[in-house]
Amino acid sequence: MAEEIIVSGWMDYRPGDRDTMLTALVELGRRTREEERGCLDYAMTADPTDERRIRVYEHWTSRQALDEHFATAHIKDFRTAVAGLPRVGVSLTAHTVAASRPMR
């Protein structure tokens, strides 16, 4: 059985670009969750304390599912839509899930 993958971290954009990026990420997230069976969750959210920062959380059934994500049409559409919005900082990490349990 493949091990699940969680991607977490943040991406920074110029303050005036963050909302434009978030709008594009909403569409990307919708298509990713609807069209990719290997996607368990996909959330990009505005950091409430930093006007540049977008928080990243992705949950995948496997490394293969994550790798396949980058070859989808909706990723290509997203990259085209945001080509003029440079990232000014980033910290993203892929975690291999060894075990999971409910918190409550």
Q: pLDDT tens-digit profile of 20-29? A: 999 999 999 9
Phi, psi of 40 (to 5 degrees): -95, -30
Residue 1 in this model has a pLDDT that exceeds 80? no
Q: Which stretches of 36-72 are DSSP H helices? A: 63-69
What is the pTM for the complete model shown?
Answer: 0.92
- Indicate if the pLDDT at residue 52 is higher than 70: yes
In the predicted structure, residue 15 carries a pLDDT above the cut 90? no
Place of tokens 């959210």: 45
Q: For residue 20, what are its two tokens?
A: 């434009």
